[in-house]
Amino acid sequence: MERREIFDTLVKAMLTELYLEDIKEEDLTEDSALFGEGLGLDSIDSVELVVIVEKHFKVAIQDADEARKAFASLGVLVSFIQERMPGE
């Protein structure tokens, strides 16, 4: 799966499954932070995001430390997924 396809799939899944109604797909870039001033996700969203990554990409996030690193930004998460996708 190409990087852009991962990004697009991830963004669509996040907007839909995390109910991010005030955020538009076109406003998000690889530099967009997931927490704090970025998308404003919280700890509950982080658990749901782990599920989204596993469900859509078959990539497991093993623990909180791995999640903290992977969730630095959308681009970092896309790289994390791309490096670990089965068959990639």
d(CA 63, CA 30): 23
Nearest to 58, CA basis, from 30, 78, 83, 81? 81
Is the pLDDT at 81 greater than 70, yes or no? Answer: yes
Predicted local confidence at residue 88, as pLDDT: 60
pLDDT of residue 79: 98
Report the chain's C-alpha Rg in angstroms. 12
- Record the pTM: 0.93
The residue written with tokens 């005030």 in the block is 22
Could you tell me the residue range of the domain that residue 36 belongs to? Answer: 3-84
Cα distance between residue 17 and residue 33, in whole Å: 18
pLDDT (0 to 100) of residue 37:
84
pLDDT per residue over 27-75, tens digit each? 999 999 999 888 999 999 999 999 999 999 999 999 999 999 999 999 9
How many domains in the chain?
1
